[in-house]
Structure 1
Amino acid sequence: MRGIRGFFERFRSAGTPGAAVRPGVPVDRVAEASAELAPVFALLEDAEAEAERICARGREEAAQIRQQAQAQAEAIIADANLRAEAVRADVVAEARRVVERESESAATLANETAARLRDRARGRMPVLVDRAVSAALVTLGEPSERAP
C-alpha cells in the first residue's frame, strides 16, 4: 500500500478544471504502468539471474586464475633463486680461477726477478769480494806491515 497519499490520488479530478465532463474515478496511472511492465520485469528476472550466475562464475574463475598466477610466480621465484645460487657459484669459481692465474703470474714474475738478481749478484760477486778484501787489507794493514 502506498500510504495515505495513494488513497487520495484515487479521488483526483479526471481532467483539468474547465468544462464539465462525465463524472468518474480517474485512472490510476501507477497501477496501469505496473500492470503493463510486470511481464517485462518478469522476463528480466531470468536475465538478472543469468547475469548473477555469470558474475559468480567470473568471480570463481578470477579467483582460480589468481591462485594459478600466484603458484606460477612462486615457481618462477624458486627457479630464479636456484639459478641465482648456481650463477653465484660460477662467479665465485671464475673469480678464484682469475686470482689463481694472477697469483701464478705474480709468482712467476717474482721468481724470474729473483733469478735475474741472483745472476747479477753472481756476476758482481767476484769484483765486490775483491774490493772488500782490498778495503779490509788497507784497513788492517798489509801483512808485511803487521807486527809479528
Structure 2
Amino acid sequence: MSLRDFLERFRPTGTPGAAVTGVPPDRAAERAAELAPALARLTAVQQEAARIRAAGEEAAETIRRDAGRKAADIVAAAREQAPGVRRQAAEPVVREAVREAEAVRAAGGRAADAVRERGRAGLPSLVEDAVALALRPTAGTGAAP
C-alpha cells in the first residue's frame, strides 16, 4: 500500500460542501447492521424451504417406489393374460383356416368322386375291349375262332 493510498483514507467524505476530516464511515457495517434482521428472517425461511424440499423428495421417492411396484404388477398380469389374448386373437384366423381346409377337402372329395364315376362309366367298355382282344386270334397261330 502506497502512501497516497494511505492518505486517501483520511480525505473528507460526505456531501459537497464543508470539508470533513476523519475516517470515512464504514458503509459495509452500516448495511450489515441494517440487513441483519431481514437476513435472520430469511435464514428461517431457507430452513423451512429445505425442510419442505426434503419432504417433497421423500414423497417423490415413495411415489416412484409405488409406481415401480404397480408397473411390475401390470407387467406380471399382462404376461399371465398373454396366452389367452393370443388365443382369442388367433381364434378367427384358425376358424377361417379350418373353413378353407374343409372347402379344399370337400372339393378334393368331389374331384375324386368324379374320377371314380368316370372310371366306373368307362369300365364296362374297357372290359369288353379287353375280352375282345383276348379272344381275337393272333396272327400266325393259325387258329380260327
TM-score calculated relative to the size of structure 2: 0.73
Partner of 1:50: 48
Deviates more, 1:24-33 or 1:131-140: 131-140
Partner of 1:4: none
Q: Deviations 1:63-102 (Å, cap 9, x if unpaired)?
A: 1121122122222222222222212233455555444444
Q: Compare relative contact order (CA 8 Å, sep 6+) and give the higher one, 1 or 2.
A: 1
In 1, the alpha carbon distance for the partners of 2:12 and 2:63 equals 62
In 2, the alpha carbon distance for the partners of 1:65 and 1:139 equals 107
Q: 1:114 aligns with which of 90, 112, 115?
A: 112
Taking a change above 3 Å as real, the CA distance of residues 139 and 99 of structure 1, as seen in their structure-2 partners, is farther
In 2, the alpha carbon distance for the partners of 1:145 and 1:36 equals 154
Q: Once superposed, what is the RMSD of the aligned Cα atoms? A: 3.1
Partner of 1:73: 71
In 2, the alpha carbon distance for the partners of 1:101 and 1:79 equals 34
Partner of 2:144: 145
Gaps of 5+ in 2: 1-5
Partner of 2:38: 40
In 1, the alpha carbon distance for the partners of 2:17 and 2:109 equals 133
Taking a change above 3 Å as real, the CA distance of residues 104 and 139 of structure 1, as seen in their structure-2 partners, is farther
Deviates more, 1:127-136 or 1:89-98: 89-98
Number of residue pairs the alignment of both structures matches = 136
- Aligned to 2:53, the other structure's residue is in SS state helix
Taking a change above 3 Å as real, the CA distance of residues 22 and 99 of structure 1, as seen in their structure-2 partners, is closer
In 1, the alpha carbon distance for the partners of 2:10 and 2:110 equals 124
Percent identity, aligned pairs only? Answer: 36
Partner of 2:134: 136
In 1, the alpha carbon distance for the partners of 2:67 and 2:95 equals 41
Partner of 1:63: 61
Taking a change above 3 Å as real, the CA distance of residues 12 and 74 of structure 1, as seen in their structure-2 partners, is farther
Deviates more, 1:124-133 or 1:137-146: 137-146
Cα drift, residue 140 of structure 1: 3.5
TM-score calculated relative to the size of structure 1: 0.72
Cα drift, residue 53 of structure 1: 0.9
